[in-house]
Amino acid sequence: MRIEIIFDTICPWCYIGKRRLEQALLERPHVTVEKRWRPFLLNPDMLSDGLDRRSYLAQKFGSETRVQRMQDAIAQVGESVEIEFAFDRIERTANSMESHRLVRFADRTGKSDACVEALFVSYFVNGHDIGQIETLIAIGTEVGLDRGALRGYLESGDDRMEIIDENRRVHTMGVAGVPTFIFAGEYAIAGAQDPTVLTRLIDAAAVLPEPAVAAPQDKPPDFVLTSC
């Protein structure tokens, strides 16, 4: 079964959603899954070097008190899925374009899932700036990517327009927030859902007939966003 995960690398709920999907899949060990990580740009107009974290959050959410309450709530949920969020370590809100390019590069060698996990840990746990090429090279080599090939790719402009186009396409299909999960190209749901909800969708998708022609790997399928 193919599971598409539309996400942004700077979204804490996407990290929580990843862990909850993993919990759901543990309940269905007989289901063979292929994950496909799809880009969503929460801040498509972000400066290439990102923004000071405190300034960004103040502009987006208002007072520091409100921001702190929000982060405390996310951290509490994170603990339930063994994520130790350390928001105080994050000095800059990163431009996520280059990190999405890293995921795309990693996908070519079957390492996208490990790469996404490493990006989340680097940003949300260690507070590293995942908008910087040197940080991304370190993450990529950590998961087994070739350093030289990765540097050449990240220093090129390869796949930037493809990510922009894919981000635009998922918006036109009705995706307004992340994470969004798409099961077998047919069932989709938004939000860091409880594992029991995701398990029900896995079960529903598991009984679908196999498509006669596989969906292209470089774009997400058409689907109808639903609820559960």
User: What is the reported pLDDT for 210?
Assistant: 66
- Residue 209: the pLDDT is 81
Tell me, rounded to whole angstroms, the distance of Cα 134 from its chain centroid.
20
Number of residues written out for the chain:
228
Q: What pLDDT score was predicted for residue 27?
A: 97
How would DSSP label each residue in 161-226?
HHHHHHHHHHHHTT--SS-EEEETTTEEEESS--HHHHHHHHHHHHTSPPPSSPPPTTSPPP-EE-
Measure the CA–CA gap between 5 and 70, rounded to whole angstroms: 24
Domain count, the chain: 1
Residues of the chain short of pLDDT 50, as ranges, are 212-217, 223-228
- The CATH number of whichever domain residue 115 belongs to comes to 3.40.30.10
Domain containing 23 equals 2-225
Rounded Cα gap, residues 131 and 97, in angstroms: 7
Tokens of 195: 């594992």
